[in-house]
Amino acid sequence: MLKATQERPLIKLEIDDYTTIPYEEYEDETSNDFKEIEFEMITPIDFSDKRQLEIYNGINKVDERLSIINEKIEELNTEIDRLTNHADGIDYTVAVASGVIAGVIDSIFVGEFSFERANDWGTEKTNNFVVKIAQSKGYKGDDLAGAVAFLEDKYKIAADKATNDFGGGLQHHLRDFSHHPTPVGLTFSLLTQFTNKVYGTDVNGIFKVVELNKDDLILIGKNTQEKLTFGIINWFFHMVSDMAGCSDSILNGKTGTGLPGPIGSLLKELSALPIFSKMNKDGRKEFSVWISKLFNGTLLGERDENGKLIPLKFDLRTEIGIAHELGRQALPIILNECIVRGFYFIRRLCVEIRDNDIKKISDLKNINWKRTLPFKNRTIVRMMTIATGTFTAIDLADAGIRAVIKSGGFNPATLGNFILRVNFVGVGRFAIAVGSDVSMGVKRNKTISEKSKLMSEVICLSNVKIYYKNAELLCSYSNLHKCQENMFGAEANMWVEVEKTQRSIEGLYNEIEKVGRFYLKTIDEMDESFNGIEQLLPEVEKMNPGLVDAMLGRLKR
C-alpha cells in the first residue's frame, strides 16, 4: 500500500513492505516493517525560459557541491570518532591494573640493567658466531683463536696497512672508518678501493686521509670486479674476524680490541664533523676523547678494592649484549601490551555480539570487526598511555628506592644505581604512547576545524540555494501574472462570444417563430383545400364514375 503526504519542501512516501524473508534467517515468513522514503520535490522547468534554465543549472551545481561536501563530512565524522577517546572507568581500571602487574614483574624478575652481563653475553654470542663463520669458509678447528687467525689470513683488507697512522692496534678499529661494521664503514671500504686512500680521524679527533704506499696496493683491486670483491666480500669477513679481537690477544687470554658497534661507530663519525669543535686543554676534541674512553672501557669501568681500574668496553660485543638486556626489559612491556589490547578486543567483541544479537556462527558476519581491533584509535592509545604511565611510575619508584638502599643513602653513586634500575624500554614506550595520544588530539582538533569549515561552506551553499529558490519563485510569480493577464483577456473574449451567441440564439428563436406561423398557415390552407375537395367529390363521381376509387387505390399503394 502506498500513501503520500506532502510537506514543504519534501514529499514523504510511507510504504508497507511485505518482502518475503528466508525462513532460516527469521521464524516469520513475511515482514511488515514500516519504511519511509523522503525525496526533494523538483519544480517543472520550462527549458525555453533562459531565466529558469539558469536557475536550474545553478541549483544543480550547488546540489553537486553539497553532495561532495556531505560525503567528506561523513568521512571526517568517522575520523573524529576514531580520534576521540571513548574509554570508560572499566577501561581505565584494567589499564592501571595491567601497568601495576607489569611493574611488579619488572621489579622482581627483570632487575637492574647490567653492562657486565651484557658484555659477557655479547662476547659469548660473538665468539660462537665467529667460529661458525670460519667453519663455513673452510676452517676445520673449533677454537676461537684459530678461527680468527683463519679469517684474518684469508680476508685481508688494504686499510690494515694504515694501522699505525690511526693509533696502532688499540685505536685503529675506532679511528679508521673502514673498520666500522656499518653501511658507512662499507662505503669507506669501497672508497679506499677506488681512491687508494684510507679515511678516519687522528689522535685529536680531526678528519684524516692517509695515502697508501705502492707496496700496500696489492690489496687494491685491478679492475672494478676485484675492487668490489675486496671492498665488500673481504671487508665483511674481515669485520667478522675483528669482532672477537686479534688472534694474538685471544691466545694471551685477553678479549682483544674488537670493533665499535653501530652506536659507537656513529658517534665517532659524528665527532669528526665541524660542529663538534670544542677542544680540551691538550688540543683534542672533547667529544672524540669521550668516545675513545667509552670504547676503551675507561669510561664505564669500575675500580676494585685496591683502586685498580677494571675496564668495561663499549664495543660491538657490549652493544649486542645491551640489545639482549633491553630484550629482557621488554618482556613486562610486551605483557602490558598484551593484557590491555587483549581486554580491549574481548570487551568490544562482547559489545558487538550483544548489539548485533549474535546467536550462531553464521551471524558473525554482522560484526563490525573494525570496532573490535585494538589498534589505530584514540581509546586504545589512551589506555596504553595510562598502562605504560603506571608501569613507568612504579618502575621509577622502585628504581629510586633500591638505588638509595644500595648506595646507603643519597650520595654520588645513587644516581648511577638509579639509572641502572630504570627500565628504559618502558620509558620509551610511555613516551611513544604520550606522543601518539597528543598527536591524535592535535589531529582531532584539526579534523574538527576542517569539518567546521565544510559546515560553514554548507551554510553558504544553502543560502545560495535559497537565493536560487527565491529567484525560481519570482519567475513562477511572473509566469503566473502573465497567465492571469492572458486569462483576463480570454475571459473578455469569452463574454464577447457569449453575447454573439446570445444574439444568434435570439435570431434562431425568431426564425423558429416564423416557421411556426408559416406551418400553421399551411395547415389551415391544407384544411381549406381538403374541405373544397370533399365538396366536389359528388360532382366528380357523377362526371367521372370510378375515378375516386381509382385514386384511392393508387394512394393505398
Burial class (CB in 10 A: 0-12, 13-18, 19+), 381: buried
Strands, sheet with 2-6, edge to edge from the N-terminal-most edge strand = 2-6, 10-16, 34-40
Query: Residues with Cβ < 8 Å from 251, sequence gap 6 or more?
Result: 145
Domain check: are 32 and 8 in the same one?
yes
Helix axes 89-105, 378-407, angle to 10 degrees: 30
> Does residue 359 register a pLDDT over 60?
yes
> Does residue 26 register a pLDDT over 50?
no
Last residue of a domain, one of 392, 422, 452: 422
Residue with cell 673481504: 234
> Does residue 539 register a pLDDT over 70?
yes
Domain check: are 329 and 303 in the same one?
no
Q: Report yes or no on 332 lying in a domain.
A: yes
171-174 contact pairs (CB < 8 A, 24+): 171/203, 171/292, 172/200, 173/242, 173/257, 173/258, 173/259, 173/260, 174/260, 174/264, 174/268, 174/291, 174/292, 174/295
Domain check: are 285 and 178 in the same one?
yes
* Angstrom distance (rounded) from CA 40 to CA 448: 29
Q: Per mean pLDDT, which range of 146-160, 243-257, 393-407 is the poorest?
A: 243-257
Burial class (CB in 10 A: 0-12, 13-18, 19+), 428: middle
Residue with cell 529567484: 471
Q: Report yes or no on 19 lying in a domain.
A: yes
Domain check: are 300 and 351 in the same one?
no
pLDDT in tens, 460-510: 988 888 888 888 777 777 777 778 778 888 878 888 888 888 887 887 888
Distances (CA, A) of 542 to 192, 355, 399, 539: 172, 126, 170, 5
Structural domain count, the chain: 3
Domain check: are 126 and 208 in the same one?
yes
Dihedral sign from CA coordinates of 285, 291, 294, 295: negative
Last residue of a domain, one of 295, 314, 333: 314
> Does residue 40 register a pLDDT over 80?
no
Domain check: are 150 and 270 in the same one?
yes
Mean pLDDT of the chain: 85
Q: How many CA atoms lie within 13 A of 396 on its CB side?
A: 10
Q: Give the count of beta carbons closer than 10 Å to the beta carbon of residue 403.
A: 21
Q: Report yes or no on 251 lying in a domain.
A: yes
Domain check: are 242 and 139 in the same one?
yes
Domain check: are 106 and 156 in the same one?
no
pLDDT value, residue 297: 86
Q: Report yes or no on 503 lying in a domain.
A: no
Q: Report yes or no on 193 lying in a domain.
A: yes
DSSP sequence for 233-263: IIHHHHHHHHHT--HHHHHTT--------HH
Domain check: are 210 and 97 in the same one?
no
* Angstrom distance (rounded) from CA 145 to CA 241: 10
Last residue of a domain, one of 393, 422, 451: 422
pLDDT value, residue 320: 93
Q: What are the beta bridge partners of residue 6?
A: 11
Name the percent of the chain lying above pLDDT 90.
Answer: 48
Q: Report yes or no on 18 lying in a domain.
A: yes
* Angstrom distance (rounded) from CA 524 to CA 515: 14
Q: Report yes or no on 548 lying in a domain.
A: no
Domain check: are 280 and 236 in the same one?
yes
pLDDT in tens, 201-230: 999 999 999 999 888 888 999 999 999 999
pLDDT value, residue 513: 84
Q: Report yes or no on 198 lying in a domain.
A: yes
Domain check: are 363 and 307 in the same one?
no
Q: How many CA atoms lie within 13 A of 138 on its CB side?
A: 7
Domain check: are 142 and 235 in the same one?
yes
pTM higher than the cut 0.75: no
Domain that holds residue 98: 89-111+322-422
